[in-house]
Amino acid sequence: MGSKERSKHDVFVNFRGPDVREGFLKNLHKALVRSGIKTFVDSEDLHQGEKLTPALKKAIERSLVTIVVFSQDYASSEWCLKELVKIFERTKRKEQLVVTVFYKVKPSQVMQRTGLYEEAMAKHERRHGKDSDMVEEWRHALSITSNFPGSHLEDNADEAKFIKGLVEEVKAKLQHLEAKRKPESISGQHTLHSLLTTGRDHFWTPFTHHESWQWPSILSGEPFPPPQTSLFPSPSVMAAPNIVTAMINL
């Protein structure tokens, strides 16, 4: 994007409204705003017709970080899945970071699409056809993005403490992005060279999760710690693929 069209929002939040809007999301949004983080949270008014509205597309495209909140009934929402496909497209072009939150749902249920996630995808297949390309795109985006860096908020967790840790992590990512972006420019473009690199070159390659493992920030540049070494304030941080160089036009 041109220099006059810099990121309008720092963060875009992808979520299913009935699951989290009035509690967790409202508190998260307030905490992000208090920290000076420009955050886009959509409203039901933007859900029109069968396709993503231009406003939603632009909000996703102009955000540097997306927080994807996986909740119990997330996969039942076609809007969540449509947004997720757009978000996934951005990550494939290495133009956006994704942070996942497993909100009172087991990460394995999302990653392996079992339980309510399996039921939701089966319902989409019945509606759109078993061989629907759209449903396959949803399934693929769900499979890959659920493996991105994230935290698990369990039923008995301290939600306020969890939100505080999540906001601190997002803020650190944005500060790192800004610091890395300023000095580097090539042919009118700013390259986020190596700001997403942690020493390896995997981007969205499937990998094995170990729920007892906790990884450092994907922007920290620190080596991977041994199992059960906690570097996050959040209750449980899932293993993350390593993200490489990103290009963002300013």
Nearest one of 156, 159, 149 to 67, comparing CA atoms: 149
> Residues 43, 44, 47, 53: is their CA dihedral positive or negative?
negative
Which two tokens mark 61?
């495209």
- What secondary structure letter does DSSP report for 224? P
pLDDT of residue 129: 94
Q: Tell which wins on pLDDT, 181 or 40.
A: 40
Confidence grade of residue 240 (pLDDT, cut at 50, 70, 90) = very low
- Of the candidates 83, 125, 184, 211, the residue annotated as catalytic is 83
Full-model pTM = 0.71
What is the average per-residue pLDDT within 172-179? 86
Q: Is the pLDDT of residue 105 over 80?
A: yes
Q: Tell which wins on pLDDT, 102 or 202.
A: 102
Reported as a single tens digit per residue, the pLDDT across 4-39 is 444 578 999 999 999 998 899 999 999 999 999 999
pLDDT of residue 50: 62
What is the average per-residue pLDDT within 177-193? 55
Which range in 26-35, 45-54, 224-233 is most confidently predicted, on average pLDDT?
Answer: 26-35
Q: Is the pLDDT of residue 53 over 90?
A: no
Confidence grade of residue 46 (pLDDT, cut at 50, 70, 90) = low
Reported as a single tens digit per residue, the pLDDT across 208-222 is 333 333 333 333 333
Query: Cα 71–139–70 angle (5° rounding)?
Result: 15
pLDDT of residue 221: 34
Q: Tell which wins on pLDDT, 130 or 158.
A: 158
DSSP output for 129-195: -TT-HHHHHHHHHHHHHTTSSEEEE-TTS-HHHHHHHHHHHHHHHHHHHHHHHTT--BTTBEEETTT
What is the average per-residue pLDDT within 101-119? 95
Identify whether 22 is a catalytic site residue.
no
pLDDT of residue 213: 30
Confidence grade of residue 77 (pLDDT, cut at 50, 70, 90) = very high
pLDDT of residue 65: 94
Lowest mean pLDDT among 88-92, 122-126, 146-150, 204-208: 204-208
Lowest mean pLDDT among 101-105, 127-131, 177-181: 177-181
pLDDT of residue 48: 56
pLDDT of residue 56: 87
pLDDT of residue 23: 92
